[in-house]
A and B are shown apart, each in its own frame.
Chain A
Amino acid sequence: MSRLFIIVLMVIFAVTGVGFWLYFIWGAGGGQFRQELVPELVVFCIEAFFLVGLLGLIQRYLENRRRRQMWLSLRGSFRDLLSLLDMAFLEPNTEPMGSKELERDPAVINHLIDELERKHPDLDSLVALKREGEESLSMTRDLVAVAAQLSASHMNWWIAIVDSIRRLSEARDRRSLERAVHEMLANIREFDRLEL
């Protein structure tokens, strides 16, 4: 159920309930209907307001939280690769990015892509990236099932990310390694852009 639909239902039940209540208190005539059926309808509207509306919103909130947690789990799985890239491009005597930023901030990806377009990582960083790619490949591959729980688009972009990590781990020269890194970052950026 969409959020708007739930809110519309809540408004309908609230307005109807208040209307019946005002009719019951202030209305004239109506006889038995007003005396016996209207209070029942007011109670029904109150119950519907809470059950359909509020509980629906709570369920939706919990669902969103669960999806957010899954997204964070996925996004955090290549934190070490991003951290190595951050270190590779780090200017002397400056602070590395925070762990939280690397795990969840989409702006980090754009920053790393910009850095990669301006600089080459040194050999030590390339070796570290390749090794980390080899180590994280199986883990990221296992997480395809988690990405599939978010949406088909999430799963497709996740598969693309895994594929670029595989290419990174198999790269045998700087050019192919940098290409794989760029591809991985671009795929992560697309993954970040998807709606949760």
Chain B
Amino acid sequence: MMPDGSYSVDRLLEFHKSAGMEGLINPAVARSRRKAVERLFEEMTDAERADVRELDVEVLSSRFHKLEDSSIRSEALTLYAQRVRMACADFLAWSENPAGFQSVGGERQKSIPRGGLTPEREVAERITLESTENPSNIIPIALRSDETVYLANLPLDLTQAEAERIARVVRALASEDDDAATDPVP
């Protein structure tokens, strides 16, 4: 299959069908992208259907108010939009230079197999999860593996001298012979 100067959605779908069969693109990737394009096709304008270079996937996504005869699931729509974006990128790259075409690739595995977590990662996750509960002006500091403290209301233009002043206050609160008792977070 070679480019024929057409940038229509039909041509994009044809490209992914043959690219999947010829091994230019992973068949599973090609199939998932074709389904995504077909899902979003109904809200495309005639101009976008005729030329995918006109297609702004963000704008296209914002036109949807229902998906699969049900209210929008934003995460599903985002997934389809991402696939359409990758489909267009590969199609345009192939149209410009079929000989040197290389696919942008597929999706990465999101989930983690059981037993694949490290303690450091769990601590980092805890900080992130805790911070979702806090307003943006509260900064969590993982003090120990089971303890987090928060700094609040730090000004955006905090100077070194002011930071040192805060540190002095905190130092004054600490007991002197508790180095062994602490369990610092890496």
Chain A residues within CB distance 8 Å of chain B: 79-80, 83-84, 87-96, 98-100, 102-103, 115, 117-128, 130-131, 171-175, 177
Contacts and interface: CB of A to CB of B under 8 A. Distances in A.
Contacts, number: 101
A118 B114 contact: yes
Contact of B126 (A88, A102, A118, A173): A173
Contacts of B110: 87-90, 92, 121-122, 124-125
A61 to B, nearest CB: 25
Given A83-B75, A100-B68, A125-B110, A172 B130 contact: yes
Interface stretch (B29-37, B45-53, B54-62): B29-37
Nearest to B66: A99
Interface of B: 26, 28-29, 31-32, 35, 67-71, 73, 75-76, 79, 106-114, 116-117, 122, 125-126, 128-130, 132-133
Given A93-B31, A96-B76, A99-B67, A174 B126 contact: yes
Nearest to A128: B75
A127 B128 contact: yes
Contacts of A99: 67-71, 73, 76
Interface of B is mostly: mixed
Nearest to A117: B114
Nearest to B39: A95
B132 A118 contact: no
A177 B111 CA distance: 15
Contacts of B35: 95
Nearest to A79: B73
A84 B68 contact: no
Given A100-B70, A128-B75, A174-B117, A88 B132 contact: no
Nearest to A98: B68
Nearest to B115: A120
A92 B106 contact: yes
Contact of A92 (B67, B76, B107, B128): B107
Contacts of A130: 129, 132
Contacts of A127: 128-129, 132
Contacts of B31: 93
B79 A93 contact: no
Contacts of A93: 26, 28-29, 31-32, 106-107
Contacts of B26: 93
Contact of A120 (B76, B106, B111): B111
Given A128-B75, A177-B129, A91 B32 contact: no
Given A80-B73, A99-B70, A119 B125 contact: no
